[in-house]
Amino acid sequence: MSSQIPTQPATAAEYLPLAFGFALHQIGATVSSLGILDAVAERPRTAEQLIELTGAHPRSLRRLLYAAVKAGVLFQDADGYRATPVSEQFGPLSDMHANPAVWRAWEVLEESVRTGRSAFDIANGAPLFEHFKNDPKLAATFHAAMTGGSDVQSPAIVKHFDFTRFRHAVDVGGGRGTLLAAVLGANSGLRGTVFDTANGVVETAGVLAEAGLDDRCDITVGSFFESVPAGGDVYLLKNILHDWNDEESIRILGNIREVLPEGGRVVVFTSVLSEGESTDEDPGDALGAAISDIEMLVMTTGRERTLAEYEQLFAGAGLRLTAATPLPCPYLYHALEAAPIAS
């Protein structure tokens, strides 16, 4: 049964987030980048204290604080300004979206839709990951934002996916090693390898050392478009394939297939778009997955996919889907497990 279209005029609460979502984002992002959220997380701060702390123009900062309260980013009482649950959503991911190169990309979404090209490439003259070479600030912000996502996803992965079957996990595109540190910390019999580009593993050794995992996890530098390290019996791809188109994704999976032992597994952790009309999915999660799909159009050559589309990717690389496990974290997140197809 199809849902009915509302007939009543939209209220301000309904249309303002859609029509002025960009403004709401920038209000929160600016409160974050000025250091206000860090300051009020410690204790309530008055406007005068925040003016002194930030060195911002007094009247302009007061106007920003007023808007931030109305937007739900801050709470104000007799003691001053405090953080709200919404303010926790602002941080590295918000900083990344406030970056000028990213804003330029969203400006040309229409051209991206008309041509099929990445909006980031159109707007900035280079694909996102190539752009990082000349924009280390954005690269650092991007990797910090990905770590923020891991803080939510990793606990669910560790709790709901069985790693006890394996002896050596290779995290392909593993970045700072946050996921693998969590996995190894919960599975004492498992060893690991973080595999990523030199740019991606700048902070990985420190993360592993802090977790006390130096002796159980190594770091290998390279490109998953060329090869991946041998020796693992489970290869992890968390939020990787949605960055790349089908041809590129099959190439990544194919390189894993080349080194995957007979009993080995590839596990893709990703959002999975629903097929057709679904009545049992959370509307917020469904919207989040849809927004993520458009963000992939803007930022990368990739996209979010349905389960059937992932099955096609696996098949193209000589793999077959063996399990699809929903995970209790936002945006229709799943663990997709694939095994090698017998030659």
| Catalytic annotation, residues | 242
Q: What are the tokens at 142? A: 């991007």
Based on its alpha-carbon atoms, the radius of gyration of the chain, rounded to whole angstroms, reads: 22
Cβ neighbors of 194 (< 8 A, separation 6 or more) are 171, 174, 175, 177, 180, 201, 204, 208, 217, 218, 219, 220
Long-range contacts of 188-194 (CB under 8 A, 24+ apart): 189/164, 190/163, 190/166, 190/216, 191/167, 191/216, 191/217, 192/168, 192/216, 192/217, 192/218, 193/168, 193/169, 193/217, 193/218, 193/219, 193/220, 193/229, 193/231, 193/232, 194/218, 194/219, 194/220
